[in-house]
Amino acid sequence: MTVKAHHKVLIIGSGPAGLTAAIYAARANLKPLCIEGWAAGGQLMITNDVENYPGFPKAITGPELMKEFRAQAERFGTVLVTADVTKIDFSARPFKAWVEDDLYTADSVIVSTGATARWLDLPSEKRLQGRGVSACAVCDGAFFKGEDVLVVGGGDTAMEEANYLTGLCNSVTLVHRRGEFRASKIMQTRALENPKIKVEYWSAVDEILGENAVEAVRLKNLQTGATKELKAGAVFVAIGHTPNTELFKGVLDLHDNGYIRTVPGTTQTNVAGVFAAGDVQDFVYRQAVTAAGTGCMAALEAERWLAANGPAH
Ligand code: NDP
- Element containing residue 127 per DSSP (H, E): helix 123-127
Residue with CA nearest ligand 1 atom 29: 283
Catalytic residue among 136, 148, 156, 169: 136
Give the per-residue pLDDT at 200: 98
Residue with CA nearest ligand 1 atom 46: 182
Residue with CA nearest ligand 1 atom 37: 156
Helices (H), 47-192: 62-75, 123-127, 137-140, 156-166, 185-192
Tell which atom from ligand 1 comes closest to the C-alpha of 154. 9
Give the per-residue pLDDT at 45: 85
Give the per-residue pLDDT at 312: 72
Q: How far apart are CA 301 and CA 200, in angstroms?
A: 47
Q: Which of the listed residues 152, 157, 206, 290 should we mutate to test ligand 1's pocket, taking the one with most ligand atoms within 8 A of CB?
A: 157
Residue 140 is among the residues annotated as catalytic for this protein: yes
Residue 296 is among the residues annotated as catalytic for this protein: no
Instruction: Give the Å distance between the CA of 162 and the centre of ligand 1.
Output: 13
Give the per-residue pLDDT at 313: 63
The helix/strand/coil state of 211 is: coil
Residues of the chain with pLDDT under 70: 1, 313
Catalytic residue among 140, 156, 279, 282: 140
Domains of the chain: 3-116+241-309 (3.50.50.60), 119-237 (3.50.50.60)
The model's pTM is 0.81
Q: Do the beta carbons of residue 208 and residue 119 sit within 8 Å? A: no
Instruction: Give the Å distance between the CA of 157 and the centre of ligand 1.
Output: 6
